[in-house]
Homo-oligomer: A and B are copies of this chain.
Amino acid sequence: MTEPLHLEDLAVGQRFVSPTKIVTVEEITGFARAFDPQPFHVSEESAHATLFGGLAASGWHTAAMTMRLLVDGGPKIAGGLVGLGGEIAWPRPTRPGDTLRVETEILEIRPSRSKPDRGMVKMLSRTLNQKDEPVQTLTATIVVPRRNAAAG
């Protein structure tokens, strides 16, 4: 167990690498049936004739798996990983059998002006497959408490 990180513990350029996760057909089609039931996500058969040319994970499934990898192996922020939003892109789809990992870099650290007990941190999380190709890039702004606020 490592100590949870406060604003004072973070530095621009700091990097975090998650564990890996293998993506299965069942996970892709299960997520799609619940949240994104389109032909290219729900079965190999229906995906074949689409512009994906075969089964592809919903981008939101890639985002959800990325979050799980960040919770398991991203920066351990005090109070949890709470995002306000960000920019997301899917340069290529996640495919069945892909092994994903997430590499995160701290881009910007900004103490809050209105709330002295916290700051905003911008981080870039790149979700890479086994060929080191990005399947998702996410630049997210998260809320991080200051250490003295936590103690006081």
Q: List residues of chain A with CB under 8 Å of any chain B CB.
A: 31, 34-40, 50-51, 58-61, 63-65, 67-68, 71, 79-90, 137, 143
Contact = CB atoms under 8 A, between A and B. Distances in A.
Given A35-B68, A64-B60, A71-B36, A85 B84 contact: no
Given A80-B39, A83-B90, A85-B89, A67 B58 contact: yes
How many copies of this protein are present in the complex?
A: 2
27 contacts: A31-B64, A34-B64, A34-B68, A35-B64, A35-B68, A36-B67, A37-B68, A37-B71, A38-B80, A38-B81, A39-B80, A40-B80, A40-B82, A50-B79, A51-B82, A58-B64, A60-B60, A60-B64, A60-B67, A63-B63, A84-B90, A85-B88, A85-B90, A86-B88, A86-B89, A87-B88, A88-B88
Give the dominant DSSP class at A's interface. mixed
Contacts of A63: 60, 63
Nearest to A81: B38
**Of A39, A65, A85, A89, which is in contact with the most chain B CB atoms at under 10 Å from its CB?**
A85
A35 B79 contact: no
Contacts of A82: 40, 51
A38 B89 contact: no
B64 A36 contact: yes
A134 to B, nearest CB: 11
